[in-house]
Each structure stands twice: as C-alpha cells, then as structure tokens.
A and B are shown apart, each in its own frame.
Chain A
Amino acid sequence: MNSGVWEEVGRAGLWNEWCGAKAAADLAPAEASCIFYRLRSGPSVLLCQCSCYVAEDQQFPWLEKVFGSRPRRDVQVTVLTCRHVTDYKSPESPGSLPTPFLRALKTRAETEPPGCPPLEQPNIAHDLPAAVLSFCQVWKVPAVLYLCYTDVMKLDLLTAEAFRPALSSQSLRGLAQDVPQSRECLKRLAATDEVQSNIYT
C-alpha cells in the first residue's frame, strides 16, 4: 500500500466473540473490521484489509456482499494470509522447519503458476481465505492464496519478506514499489511494534 495512492471506498463491520464486546452497530469507522481501498491510478484494482476474524457463519454472507452471488470471471483474486508453523503438517517436527516459508493454493481457472511451492497434502487452509478460494473455484474465478507459515505472532520483517515471491506474480507485479524502499518501510513498521512490546520502558 506504500507503493501507490489508495482511497478508501468501503467498510464492513461485523461482530463475533473474537471481535470483542462491542456490537457491530456501535463500531466507530476507525474500528471497522474490513476496509476496502481502490488504487487511484488503476481504479480496477481493489484491496481489502481484513483485521478481524470472520466467523464461519459470517463468511458466506461476507462473500455475497463483496462478490455478489455470481462473480464475473474476468476478476482476478489474490489472498495473503499467515498461519503459525505448528499448523503445518510435515514428517519433520515444526521446530526444525525453516520458518517463515510460503505456500500457495490456486483455483483451476488461474493458469499462472504461483511463485512458490504448492501447499502439500495433507495441509489445508480454512477460515475466510478458504471461503474465498472455494467461492472462486466453484464459480471459475482465477484466484490464488498465499499462505505464510511463521513462528512469530507479531509483525516482523522476516515474515513480511516471506511474501516477496507473491509480489512478482502477474496480478501484484505492477503494484509493489522497488525493493529498497519497501524494505525500509517494513523496518519502520516492525520497529514501531517492538518498542511497544518492551515492558521495561
């Protein structure tokens, strides 16, 4: 988002046990769970930042609101998400895996190979990313999900950089600025978080 000018075009508020005590109607605009942005230089590019857990019974209505009941097939969807490495099943123990690492799942309609290995069986994706990908698979929309497995629970530079192969995909290639500037931006974001987490200051 640091690479271009994005304007906010919509918000979606929802409430469930994981969001906290406030009802959806009481959420202030700044607390909305999903914010939709449009790229000013390319209005056909939309970005959704989802900062809250979307519960199972909310996922289907969320999809219908965002995509409609039958999406257009000329839409291209990319989903980025993270999971803890203990969710990843492999013959090796989670502690010995070289985290963070990226895996991808794509729909049949997506013909470009993703820039990272496919998610191996028996691993699966769930929650909202799975709901989006299922929807796109059924309605033949090109879509790819990039799943980063990490061993930290907070924003850190290494985990953010693990998404770099996703930035060279056809859909995101033109949106990310050149490498040195994005690295600096990530360092600033990660540093802010580190200071706040120091209990001795």
Chain B
Amino acid sequence: MFVPCGESGPDLSGYTLLMPAVSVGNVGQLAIDLIISTLNMSKIGYFYTDCLVPVVGNNPYATAEENSTELSINTEVYSLPSKKLVALQLRSIFIKYKSKSFCEKLLSWVKSSNCAKVIVLSSSHSYHRNDLQLRSTPFRYLVTPSLQNTVQNQLMNLNWEEMEKSPRIPEINDSDTCIRIPGGGITKTLYEESCSREIPMAVLLKFVSEGDNIPDALGLVEYLNEWLHIIQPRSADPTTSALPWKMPSSWKLLFGSGLPPALF
C-alpha cells in the first residue's frame, strides 16, 4: 500500500508513473536511479508491502552531508510536479511466490491514483534474441491497447521497434504466438494484467547481458527521453557527448570493496 511521507497523500491524477522491473542486469532500476538523481526528484512516500526483501540504507541520492542520513527503504515513490512525473523505485528482489501479489497491489494503486500512463523500464536476456533481433537495435517497446491510440503515432515517428511475438511452442512455427520477455521479471505479468484491466501502460526494454550495466541504463533513459523529453541536451550540437544524466552518489563500489595491496 502507498504510505505518504507527509500527513496526506499527493494527488497523482494525470501524472506519468515511471517504474522499473527487477530484470536482467537491474537495468530498469539503474535507469530509475538516473532519472531520480538527475531530476532531483523528492520522496513523497513508500509503497509498503510484504512482497519484497527488506533492505535499508542511507540516502542513495545524497549530494551533501546534510542530506546523507535520510533513511531509504526497498520501495519508495518520488515525484517532480513541474513535469507531472512520479517514479517508483524498487531496491530488492521479490520474496518467493509474492511477485504476482505485488503486481495486483501495484496495479490497484495505479488505477486508484488516476495516473495518465505507466511506463515500465525493463530488460531482457540478449542471448535469447532471434536472428532478426540480433541484427537490429537492442531497444523494444510494448503498449497496452488503452494507450495505443494516444501514443502510436509518436512512437512510429520515432521509428521504434515493437517487441516481436514468438511461437508459443518454439519448435512449431505455426503455433499461436505470444510475447516472451526472458529475464524480464514481472514485466510480462504487468503488461498482460494492464491489457486486461485497461491500464495505459508502455514497456521500454533493452536486450542486455549481466555485467557492468551502467551503459545499458544510460541507453535506456536516453531511449525514454526520445519520447518524453525529460531533459534537454546541453547544447544543440548533435555531435557533443550525451545528455547530462547524473549518477547517484550510491553508485560506487558496485563490484566490491578495495583489494588488499599484498594481493599484487
């Protein structure tokens, strides 16, 4: 359930909700971290459930000592009213058998909040790509029918590629087709439930492998930015380096502590 930081909950009608799926390489979560950090979004509440493993730490977006001791938990909600953006961040994995329950609770909250649309940032195993996918861009999108009319033209003008369907039985080409998102965590469940509940949802994902997934997260936020124009480029020159995404202060020691000097 959503629990506000203040005494009353904010009005999220008409807002765009950005959220990650816990998926291969944690790309969606890294992307949401970049968005919250770059836009300096403010925490407005918690999505408190028994569905994710509890974790706590100090403020992952701290910019100074004064704001470094604000406690953060595993599911938090941030907003930027000037752009009507709200972001849900998930910081841990699902407890066994609880992912479907989380999807139900989340979509009930989305419905009751009257958000204009939900965008799920996700990823899928790159080794599952077919031959066509190997030769094309690694980015894909999906939209639910209730969002399709509103955004289809925009996405077509961007020349984006829709996620392909694959045969339900892989060995039989003329069997029914369905969406598969291997390594995508709850992405497919969220998408299918949103289709049936008429929730306007888009999924943006990238084919990735596990490793240093920061470049993948940067790629995914820039893909999102092509559509939403969350931030503007530093200059009009298209040859200059990428948009000014700000990495959170917690993005350090991602691959462990320092090494003992005696090792070398």
Chain A residues in the interface with B (C-beta under 8 A): 56-57, 59-61, 88-96, 105-108, 118-127, 130-131, 133-134, 137-139, 145
> Which chain A residue has the least Cβ–Cβ distance from B251?
A122
Contact partner of A119 (CB less than 8 A), chosen from B57, B260, B261, is B57
> Which chain B residue has the least Cβ–Cβ distance from A61?
B50
Beta-carbon contact of A105 and B257 below 8 Å: no
Beta-carbon contact of A123 and B95 below 8 Å: no
Beta-carbon contact of B249 and A133 below 8 Å: no
Q: List 7 A-B contacts (CB under 8 A).
A: A89-B257, A92-B257, A95-B260, A121-B59, A124-B55, A125-B57, A134-B48
Query: Which residues of the other chain, A, contact B238 by a CB distance below 8 angstroms?
Result: none
Encoded as 1 (CB less than 8 Å from any A CB) or 0, chain B from 71 to 98 comes to 1011000000000000000001001101
Beta-carbon contact of B258 and A92 below 8 Å: yes
Beta-carbon contact of A120 and B73 below 8 Å: no
Contact partner of B69 (CB less than 8 A), chosen from A96, A106, A137, is A106
Within the complex, the shortest CB–CB distance from A55 to chain B, in Å, comes to 9
Beta-carbon contact of B56 and A122 below 8 Å: no
Query: Which residues of the other chain, B, contact A93 by a CB distance below 8 angstroms?
Result: 257-261
Query: Please, how many angstroms separate the alpha-carbon atoms of A175 and B57 in the complex?
Result: 28
Query: Please, how many angstroms separate the alpha-carbon atoms of A173 and B56 in the complex?
Result: 26
With known contacts A96-B260, A121-B250, A133–B56 Cβ distance under 8 A: yes
Q: Is B68 an interface residue (CB 8 A)?
A: yes
Name 14 extra pairs, CB < 8 A, besides A90-B257, A122-B252. A56-B54, A56-B95, A88-B257, A92-B257, A92-B258, A96-B260, A118-B69, A121-B60, A126-B92, A130-B55, A133-B73, A134-B48, A134-B54, A138-B73
Query: Which residues of the other chain, A, contact B68 by a CB distance below 8 angstroms?
Result: 118, 121
Query: Please, how many angstroms separate the alpha-carbon atoms of A180 and B58 in the complex?
Result: 35
Query: Which residues of the other chain, A, contact B55 by a CB distance below 8 angstroms?
Result: 124-126, 130, 134
Identify the 8 closest CB pairs spanning chains A and B, nearest first: A60-B50, A124-B57, A131-B54, A93-B260, A130-B54, A134-B73, A121-B250, A89-B253
Beta-carbon contact of B71 and A108 below 8 Å: yes
Contact partner of A90 (CB less than 8 A), chosen from B53, B62, B251, B258, is B258
Beta-carbon contact of A90 and B253 below 8 Å: yes
Identify whether the interface residues of B are mostly helix, strand, loop, or mixed.
loop
Q: Is B207 an interface residue (CB 8 A)?
A: no
> Which chain A residue has the least Cβ–Cβ distance from B70?
A108
Number of A-B residue pairs with CB-CB distance less than 8 Å in the complex they form: 98
Within the complex, the shortest CB–CB distance from A65 to chain B, in Å, comes to 13
Beta-carbon contact of A91 and B257 below 8 Å: yes
Query: Please, how many angstroms separate the alpha-carbon atoms of A137 and B48 in the complex?
Result: 10
Interface size of B as a range: 35 or more
Query: Please, how many angstroms separate the alpha-carbon atoms of A134 and B51 in the complex?
Result: 13
> Which chain A residue has the least Cβ–Cβ distance from B49?
A60
With known contacts A91-B258, A121-B250, A122-B250, A130–B71 Cβ distance under 8 A: no
Query: Please, how many angstroms separate the alpha-carbon atoms of A145 and B69 in the complex?
Result: 13
Query: Which residues of the other chain, B, contact A120 by a CB distance below 8 angstroms?
Result: 58
Q: Is B242 an interface residue (CB 8 A)?
A: no
Q: Is B46 an interface residue (CB 8 A)?
A: yes
Find residues 1-43 in chain B having any chain A CB closer than 8 Å to their own CB: 3
Q: Is B256 an interface residue (CB 8 A)?
A: yes
Query: Which residues of the other chain, B, contact A138 by a CB distance below 8 angstroms?
Result: 3, 46, 48, 73
Query: Which residues of the other chain, A, contact B71 by a CB distance below 8 angstroms?
Result: 105-108, 133, 137
Query: Please, how many angstroms separate the alpha-carbon atoms of A107 and B58 in the complex?
Result: 10
Query: Which residues of the other chain, B, contact A119 by a CB distance below 8 angstroms?
Result: 57-58
> Which chain A residue has the least Cβ–Cβ distance from B256?
A89
Query: Which residues of the other chain, A, contact B256 by a CB distance below 8 angstroms?
Result: 89
Beta-carbon contact of B258 and A59 below 8 Å: no
Query: Which residues of the other chain, A, contact B3 by a CB distance below 8 angstroms?
Result: 138-139
